[in-house]
């Protein structure tokens, strides 16, 4: 998506090791016009999937998931994070939190998923796919099926995209970063 | 708001000391139809304020803030949380995190507020108002003005509402809890 690529080029921060940080676009600030355009694109690509739930992880995917939810008229289930190891009445997965620099427990309340659910996962960024794998394992534990995943920014050189596609999940990344040159210019897949 | 009160009565968890926990309604799950109705109500009540930014704190206010942003056509600025004491290029406030059982730093990136901004704060719950006070102090540090605050659930017996109104901020709470009886029945202000 052209508008998204331009925004990433303009506002993303390129850290050491050419890590692209999109927090300023999805985590600290919500440009509703851009995000609504993205949600429209996902709603179109997912229109035939008969989705019943959107799952996202706090907090940078919530705005995107909410805008898509309006268009698909389905609820959003939010994966929460806690430093505790056990959460009553929840599906859990251990994942690494960049925000808290420690492993934490991600959880979904059991009452919010059922075995008939057809789920799309929405997230802002897909690199190694560890958070995505945690979400998929929790959703599958409930008996629900992960049918699709929508990602704002996918990093092509990392393994996450391949892992998701290999599971038969329809992955729709609205921008795919293929590299960063010495000047910090980001290149995108066609 | 009748629909919201009914949802709180049905799904909120009443903890020891009659603390009402609305996480299951705003933090773990997003019923977009209910939340969109709430955003419509705020958009109507705030229609003459010429607001330029919505500020909310991660993560339970983000869905509400995003839906209101669509209606007001203004961006959302998200207050982030970190265990670190200092954040570069940010306004900060120390607040207590119930999620992490420790004091943490709340922060707003400086680039996301300016002195001409007229701000509405959106949050799911208002009790003692500590998080709200932290947000107000950061916003005022930028030179911007907090004109209004929209809260889903206000607890009348706690001091937060009074503190906010005493600052001359237009507080619009869509439900106001006045008490909880022995059977767990929640009563609301008219």
For the stretch A3-56, pLDDT in tens is 999 999 999 999 888 889 999 999 999 999 999 999 999 999 999 999 999 999
The number of helices, as runs of H, and strands, as runs of E, in chain A is: 6, 12
Under DSSP, is residue B153 helix (H, G, I), strand (E, B) or coil? Answer: strand
Residue A186 in any domain: the answer is no
Residue B96 in any domain: the answer is no
Segment (H or E) for B91: strand B90-97
Contact between B58 and A63 using a beta-carbon 8 Å cutoff: no
Under DSSP, is residue B62 helix (H, G, I), strand (E, B) or coil? Answer: helix
Find which of B28, B82, B103 to mutate to test the A interface (most A CBs within 10 Å of its CB).
B28
CATH number, domain of B17, equals: 3.40.50.2020
| Total count of domains within chain B | 1
The token duo for A105 is 């427990």
Contact between B77 and A35 using a beta-carbon 8 Å cutoff: no
Under DSSP, is residue A156 helix (H, G, I), strand (E, B) or coil? Answer: coil
Of A111, B26, B149, B58, the closest CA to residue B7 belongs to B26
Contact between B63 and A81 using a beta-carbon 8 Å cutoff: no
Of B78, B35, B39, the closest CA to residue A31 belongs to B78
Residue B94 in any domain: the answer is no
Q: Which chain A residues contact residue B33 at CB under 8 A?
A: 73
Residue B171 in any domain: the answer is yes
Q: List the single residue in B36, B78, B111 with the smallest CB-CB distance to A27.
A: B78
Question: What is the torsional sign of CA A13, A19, A24, A28?
Answer: negative
Q: How far is B43 from chain A (nearest CA, A)?
A: 15
* Residue spans of alpha helices (H) in A29-61: 32-45
> Which residues does A contribute to its contact with B (CB < 8 Å)?
24, 27-33, 35-36, 58-59, 62-63, 65-67, 69-70, 73-78, 80-83, 99-101, 108-109, 111-112
Segment (H or E) for A162: helix A160-166
CA distance linking residue A180 with residue A153, whole number of Å:
14
* Cβ burial, residue B137 (10 Å; 0-12/13-18/19+): middle
Residue A2 in any domain: the answer is no
Residue of B nearest to A75 (CA): B31
- Tell me the whole-structure pTM to 2 decimals: 0.96
Of A107, A128, A98, the closest CA to residue B81 belongs to A98
Domain around B63: 2-82+110-188
Instruction: Using the CB atoms, write b or e for A148-180: b if 16+ within 10 Å.
Output: bbbbbbbbbeeebbebbeeeebebbbbbbbeeb
**A64 conformational bin, left if phi > 0, alpha if psi -120 to 50, beta if neither:** alpha
Residue of A nearest to B55 (CA): A29
Would you give per-residue pLDDT tens digits along chain B (190 residues)? 999 999 999 999 998 888 899 999 999 999 999 999 999 999 999 999 999 999 999 999 999 999 999 999 999 999 999 989 999 999 999 998 877 788 999 999 999 999 999 999 999 999 999 999 999 999 999 999 999 999 999 999 999 999 999 999 999 999 999 999 988 899 999 8
Cβ contact B50:B73 at 8 Å: no
The token duo for A169 is 């999940």
Backbone angles phi and psi of A81, in degrees to 5: -125, 145
Q: How far is A132 from chain B (nearest CA, A)?
A: 17
């Amino acid at each position: 998506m052209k508008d998204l690529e331009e925004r990433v080029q303009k506002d993303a921060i390129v850290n050491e090791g050419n890590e692209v940080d999109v927090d300023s676009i999805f985590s600290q600030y919500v440009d509703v016009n851009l995000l609504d355009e993205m949600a429209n694109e996902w709603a179109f690509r997912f229109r035939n999937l008969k989705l019943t739930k959107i799952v996202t992880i706090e907090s940078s995917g919530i705005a995107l998931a909410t805008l898509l939810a309006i268009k698909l008229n389905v609820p959003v289930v939010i994966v929460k994070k806690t430093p505790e190891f056990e959460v009553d009445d929840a599906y859990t997965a251990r994942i690494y939190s960049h925000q808290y620099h420690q492993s934490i427990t991600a959880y979904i309340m059991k009452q919010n998923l059922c075995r008939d659910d057809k789920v799309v996962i929405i997230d802002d960024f897909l690199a190694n796919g560890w958070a995505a794998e945690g979400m998929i394992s929790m959703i599958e534990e409930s008996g629900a099926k992960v049918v699709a995943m929508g990602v704002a920014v996918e990093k092509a050189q990392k393994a996450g995209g391949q892992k998701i596609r290999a599971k038969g999940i329809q992955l729709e990344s609205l921008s795919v970063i293929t590299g960063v040159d010495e000047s910090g210019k980001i290149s995108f897949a066609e």
